[in-house]
Amino acid sequence: MSSKQGKVSTSKKAQSVAAPVLLHSITQLVTMHMPGWSGPRRGRALSDIGLVEDGAVLVSGGKLISVGTTREMRKDAWLKQHIREVVELDCTGKVVIPGFVDSHTHPVFAKPRLVDFEKRISGATYAEIAEAGGGIRSSLDGVRKESRQQLAERTLSAFREMSAYGTTTVEAKSGYGLNCESELKSLEAIKDAAAKWPGTVAATLLGAHVPPPEHKTDPDGYVDIIIKKMIPEVAKRKLAAYVDVFCEKGAFTPEQSMRILKAAKIHGLEVRAHVCQLTHAELQPLLLFHPASLDHMDFVSDEDVNELAKHDTVATLVPGANYFLATKSYPPARKLIDAGVPVALATDYNPGSSPTSSMPMVLSLACTQMKMSPAEALAAATINGAYAVGLGDRKGSVEPGKDADLAIFQLEDYREIAYWFGANHCVGTMMSGHWAE
């Protein structure tokens, strides 16, 4: 059993945690502990999930204190000393995993896009709908009209829905306001929602989602606004940790994307990008900025797969978008993993291409459609998601000293999380020691 009893530091949110908790008799505990490995998991290491049978986890002050087997835990000195205050939870017949890290979501929008949904069912493509003024631009009016408070309420209910499926950390993007005022309002809504949710939120400015209609003939003018106004203001007010760009035909060119990522770095923000979702693009110009992740990757070239394997940039795959848009193929997960690229999985929760808050559904798609093993899918959805949002040292594994972020499933085998698609077997989610409501 490993222990780090002296090194517990509690965050402000976690200080309100009441009694320490002992989860014991866990039928399968997935720790993701991998001695000697640092950084995101790649290649064969992606299957190493640190499985403990009859496991136990001790939580105090919002942190993981000890992790091991139930037998080992009973000998733990800290536990013996504090046994009277500890609340015990028998997890017989349950699987416990590190909470999911959903490293790509767009939760700030006003309404579902049901007209687009029906148009696609009748045969229109995502790109055709976007060209005709639907798509991302059709979410714009709602976000511009709604108040910060209304958007915060919707965002909070999305976070709560996510934690009901076992998600404990979320990367949340703006991106439907598409002017300075509404992008800042969207980030403020994320901040307000994050303050009311016990999970962890990494906010991202996605002002560069698509040029808004008023800049249709002058997209570079909009890029100037992002660079000269949005990014400096977001950095000054610390409203986001990341800047994202949709580098795609009909959105932003590689040159425009580079200008945006460069400005982000100058202002001390980290970067990520949507790339190769609908068409191929070269990754080299984006890799110059050391993005935390490059997301979608459906049309990545073989040369870029090999290049990516040399970097710590995580390839975040979002098969929910492929499912919902009914694409002919899925991102080449096997090729990426076998080449040694660190791969993460995320929902891409958004009203246009992936309206799902369920990480278990994403795991199912990863296994059935991209031929990832259930173990690989779990690692991609936890520890590699954590690296994709720069939180690999705090999140994504069940190890002493890390945040007490756990998801409990009423299942006896971890493979069942991906197997039972469309059902929710998550029966408890702990975020920095707090249970989801």
Exactly one of 348, 376, 403, 405 binds Fe ion (CB under 5 A); that residue is 348
Stretch that binds ligand NIG, among 51-59, 254-262, 347-355, 415-423 (CB under 6 A): 347-355
Q: Residue 207 belongs to what H/E stretch?
A: strand 200-208
Q: What is the CA radius of gyration of the chain?
A: 21
Q: Which residue has the tokens 């028998």?
A: 90
Q: Is residue 353 at the binding interface for ligand NIG, with CB under 6 A as the rule?
A: yes
Interface with ligand NIG (CB under 6 A), residue total: 14
State yes or no: residue 274 binds ligand NIG (CB under 6 A): yes
Span from 91-99, 189-197, 226-234, 351-359 in contact with ligand NIG (CB under 6 A):
351-359
Which of Fe ion, ligand NIG, none interacts with 200 (beta carbon under 5 to 8 A by kind)? none
260 binds ligand NIG (CB under 6 A): no
Quick check: 351 binds ligand NIG (CB under 6 A)?
yes
Number of shown-chain residues binding Fe ion (CB under 5 A): 1
396 binds, among ligand NIG, Fe ion, none (CB under 5 to 8 A by kind): none
Rule CB under 6 A: say whether 348 interacts with ligand NIG. yes
Instruction: Considering only the stretches 187-195, 345-353, 389-397, 402-410, report the one whose residues sit in contact with Fe ion under the rule CB under 5 A.
Output: 345-353
Sole window of 37-45, 46-54, 352-360, 366-374 interacting with ligand NIG (rule: CB under 6 A): 352-360
Among ligand NIG, Fe ion, none, partner that 353 touches (CB below 5 to 8 angstroms by kind): ligand NIG
Distance CA 127, CA 106 (A): 19
CA dihedral 198, 203, 207, 209 (to 10 degrees): -80
Query: Any alpha helices (H) in 246-373, and if so which ranges?
Result: 254-266, 284-287, 302-308, 319-325, 333-339, 359-370
User: Which one, 174 or 432, has the nearer CB to Fe ion?
Assistant: 174
Torsion of CA 360, 362, 363, 369, to 10 degrees: 140
C-alpha 77/C-alpha 70 separation (Å) is 14
Angle between helices 359-370 and 374-381 (to 10 degrees): 140
Question: For residue 4, how many other CB atoms are within 10 A of its CB?
Answer: 15
* Cβ count near 261 (within 10 Å): 27
CB of 273 to ligand NIG, least distance (A): 10
For ligand NIG, the closer CB: 277 or 429: 277
Tell me how far, at minimum, the Cβ of 122 lies from ligand NIG, in Å: 17
Smallest gap from Cβ 377 to ligand NIG, in A, equals 19
Residue 135 engages ligand NIG in binding (rule: CB under 6 A): yes
Enumerate residues 161-200 that contact Fe ion by CB under 5 A: none
Q: How far apart are CA 358 and CA 259, in angstroms?
A: 34
CA dist., res. 210 & res. 175, Å (int): 8
Q: How far is CA 223 from CA 196, 230, 256, 260, 405, in A?
A: 33, 10, 7, 7, 38
Nearest distance from C-beta of residue 275 to ligand NIG, angstroms: 10
Q: For residue 408, which phi and psi values (nearest 5 degrees)?
A: -110, 130
Closer to ligand NIG at the Cβ: 174 or 200?
A: 174
Which one of 254, 352, 360, 390 is in contact with ligand NIG (CB under 6 A)?
352
Backbone φ, ψ for residue 29 (5° rounding): -110, 120
Residue 30 token pair: 């997935």
Residue among 70, 169, 186, 277 that touches ligand NIG (CB under 6 A): 277
User: Of 171 and 348, which has the nearer Cβ to ligand NIG?
Assistant: 348
| Nearest of 138, 355, 173, 351 to residue 273 by alpha carbon | 173
Tell me the residue length of the chain: 437
Residue 347 interacting entry, from Fe ion, ligand NIG, none, C-beta within 5 to 8 Å by type:
none
Considering only residues 28, 257, 350, 432, which one is a binding residue for ligand NIG as defined by CB under 6 A? 350
Q: Residue 38 or residue 122: which is nearer to ligand NIG going by CB?
A: 122
What does the alpha-carbon distance between residue 257 and residue 239 come to, in Å, rounded to a whole number? 20
The Cα–Cα gap between 311 and 40 comes to 10
Site residues (vs Fe ion, CB under 5 A): 348
Site residues (vs ligand NIG, CB under 6 A): 106, 135-136, 139, 246, 274, 277, 321, 348, 350-354
